[in-house]
Structure 1
Amino acid sequence: MKNSIYIILGILLLSSCASLNKRQFSADAMNEKLVTLDRDSITLSQILEKNKGKQIFAQVFASYCPVSQDSFDDVLKFQKENPEKVYIFFSVDHSYYDWKRGLKYVKPKGQFYYIPKKGDGALGKFLKLKSIPRFLKINEQGEIEVYKTSKVSEKLK
């Protein structure tokens, strides 16, 4: 009986760790409609295709979030140390207008997109988006190398 409990606990532990090591975006996440600065519709698939062959540093943030705002200085430093990367920022602001208004306070430069469905859409659910800021590292083939980290660190290089 004791061995059965250890086996079950081991399986649960391994399966929970596997969810933190996702390598590919789901089809639903890839096809969710995001919004560009010009208010055009774009999918994550199109964004990744546009940046194919490049290493991507991605951040999910909200312009109103103090923790996100504090992270921008770290992102700026990271950008200066790693200019070869593509920088993509996904916002979960309350509205498109709040996002556009808040961008004047965002210091890092890069590609900016708004996630209208926030954590309730396919991308938010895939990312298990519960807190921000959130950072990801995506390799040249569009595979996720770092699925979840809440701060800029060496593992994003």
Structure 2
Amino acid sequence: MNSQPKQVFINLPIKNLQRSKAFFSELGFRFNEQFENETTTCMVVNDSIFVMLLEEDRFRAFTKREVADTSKVAEAILALSLESREEVEAIVNRAFAAGATPYNEPQDHGFMYGWSFTDLDGHLWEFLYMDEAAFKQQT
């Protein structure tokens, strides 16, 4: 591929738009209301990454495959990096307060620290901090 993508749009099936929007708002995410209706919203991660939250019936319109039962299977792990270990702990703790469930205990690899949870619809999220200077020392 000669050209590089400019933006990333991740599409996730959800059960209840208002509940999911309230959950992710508690984590500090904002939404682009230009791409919102009664079944869909666009969660802004940053200027080039977006998560489309689509109620399951709407999501099904985009695929011929079955929607994953996230209580039984992992469809993906959505990993997002942050600027510090403290930011990782803050957002994961906000997720727990908003109804998320723990997925893994915090993992400290020296140069990288991560912590993960399952959101209200069973999607796996991991937030991590990577100390690039410490990483370079290990390589």
Task: Tell me which interval the TM-score lies in, with the shorter structure as reference length.
Answer: under 0.3
Looking at CA atoms only, which structure, 1 or 2, has the larger radius of gyration? 1
User: If the length of structure 2 is used for normalisation, what is the TM-score?
Assistant: 0.28
Higher helix share: 1
Higher-RCO chain (CA-CA 8 Å, sequence separation at least 6): 1
| More strand, by proportion | 2
